[in-house]
Amino acid sequence: MKTQLTIDNIEARLRELTVTGDPKIMGTPFYVTAINNSSKPFLGEFDSTTFELTKNTSLLPTPYIIEGTYNSTADGTELNYKIKPIWFGHIWLRVFPIIALVIINWAILKNPTFFPTVERIIFNAFGLLMFSPILIVNFQKKKMERDFVNEFKLGNINCRQQCA
């Protein structure tokens, strides 16, 4: 996509908005090793032509990476990016709730006198809330892309999704 920024401006923005760190750790349960107190919106790595960024957060990590390249063309500056899932974090969000529900239900069914049927139903209904991070992460992914597009002046985000 075309951007209004020059190569120097893009590099300056990356330095200004990015905490240096491994973005692949941030979207996993091991993100506590990457927590920092910076107010910068992105965490990642970049060089003179490529970048890998993710959301810099302490609370709810986003298991996605914005990966891309930027270079100078005759028409201006071209910045291409794609959003990729962090494999382990992506799987963790989907598999962990299933495993947890199976283990908890196995323990409950092994001792049926301890948990009457009504309590099992209520417990499993609340157990389904373990799947809510999947929805939250989808909203976070959209917000992360919107912030990236706004910071690097890439134009209309809806056009990128429909025109690609």
Per-residue pLDDT tens digits for 73-130: 888 889 999 999 988 888 888 888 888 888 888 888 887 777 777 877 887 788 788 8
**What distance in Å separates the CA atoms of residue 28 and residue 39, rounded to the nearest whole number?**
20
Q: Is the pLDDT of residue 60 over 60?
A: yes
**What distance in Å separates the CA atoms of residue 60 and residue 108, rounded to the nearest whole number?**
30
Q: Is the pLDDT of residue 72 over 50?
A: yes
The pLDDT assigned to 45 comes to 93
CB 24 within 8 A of CB 53: no
49 φ, ψ (degrees, to nearest 5):
-140, -15
- Sort 78 into a burial class: Cβ within 10 Å, 0-12 / 13-18 / 19+: middle
pLDDT mean over 130-143:
87
How much of the chain exceeds pLDDT 70, in percent? 87
Task: Give 67's pLDDT tier (boundaries 50, 70, 90).
Answer: very high
Task: Give 148's pLDDT tier (boundaries 50, 70, 90).
Answer: very high
| Comparison of pLDDT for 90 and 12, the residue scoring more | 12
pLDDT mean over 6-35:
80
The pLDDT assigned to 159 comes to 45
**What distance in Å separates the CA atoms of residue 130 and residue 96, rounded to the nearest whole number?**
9
The pLDDT assigned to 162 comes to 40
Neighbours of 20 (CB within 10 A): 12
Q: Is the pLDDT of residue 65 over 90?
A: yes
CB 150 within 8 A of CB 2: no
CB 25 within 8 A of CB 31: yes
DSSP three-state, residue 30: helix
DSSP-assigned beta bridge partners for residue 158: none
